[in-house]
Amino acid sequence: MRVFAHRTREPGARRTSRSWLRRSAAALSLALLSPLAVAVVGTTAPTAQAAFNPSGIDFWVDSSMGPIKSRVFRANDGNTNRVVYALDGLRARDDLNGWEIDTNVVVELQKWNINVVMPVGGQCSFYSDWIAPSNFFGIGTGSSSGSATGSSGAVGQRNTYTWETFLTQNLRFALRDRLGFNPNRNGIFGLSMGGSAALTMAAYHPDQFSYAGSFSGYLNVSAPGMKEAMRLAFLTQNGFNIDAMWGPPWDPRWLRNDPFVFAPRLKAQNTRLYIAAGSGIPGVYDQPRSFVDLYNTANGMGLEAISLANTKAFQLRMASLGYGNVVYDFPPVGTHSWPWWADNVYRMIPDLSNYIG
């Protein structure tokens, strides 16, 4: 087990850290009550703004949600054995994956001769199989098909999200059959919502994923207050009804999708993990130049503080299980925003390269 970026702190510094965490948690509570709360799940600071990488191909696959697009980037050496999936965050768009829009990490992954698969769409999905279309009192909300352009936020969600099935069956075997990609010992990583989902995919589909990375993930979704916070976040994102995902708070699906709970699966399968979260303290990428920037940075501070608390709880859980096949990456600064997640990927790539294919 390796841990990055720890610093020894004096007692006064620990008190300051705890005080910062309390203030950041309060910021999250305020943010979640605001109509713009989830804006931070996009980008809150200047970044590469790659937007579109012409080396990628549009790879369409049929599913129960309708045809779903992924963006596929081939490894520089042309191999088909080394594959990683990159999962988006809560505000996933229907045209491109956020990793392509807001970062250039795919270029570095290609240099390491890794094929990159970026599913497109799935806002608020947690890349899970839902129990019903999102609706309130029979009135549908959210995405009607999953990733058809323009469907995001469409009233009348006709099809139930089945993202886990899509990633582990439809897309997996279409990549094998049409591109020759290895369907086994793949990697998967994601930010925020996608970080939680990456661990879920690895836990329940170990033959497909031998490596999973979570950046600012919510890794203890059954913790007190998390379900309520997630419900508010879903409502602010085009009015999604979280009960359509895993049912009411007492439904066992919540436990099934909680990394803290299914951690023993990861240990039993010896899944290699890369687990990262920032401190919530602004750094070089967080330089607000307007009120909107300031607001987004405040949101990013609060959301990252909650993610850090979740991630630390997961770390303690893994330690209690005696599991050490993990790299923990806790930089001293960093908010819930794309430049910090891109840095996570750059630090992760050498380790990822050793455990896939």
Q: Which residues are catalytic?
A: 192, 304, 336
CA distance linking residue 308 with residue 313, whole number of Å: 8
Instruction: Find all residues with CB under 8 Å of 13, minimum gap 6, and list them.
Output: none
228: three-class secondary structure by DSSP: helix
Cα dist. 305→40, 147, 275, 310 in Å? 13, 30, 15, 9
CA distance linking residue 246 with residue 243, whole number of Å: 6
Tally of CA atoms within 13 A in the half-sphere of 193 that contains its CB: 23
Q: Cα dihedral sign for 277, 281, 286, 288?
A: positive
CA distance linking residue 292 with residue 297, whole number of Å: 9
212: left (phi over 0), alpha (psi -120 to 50) or beta: beta
310: three-class secondary structure by DSSP: helix
Tally of CA atoms within 13 A in the half-sphere of 173 that contains its CB: 7
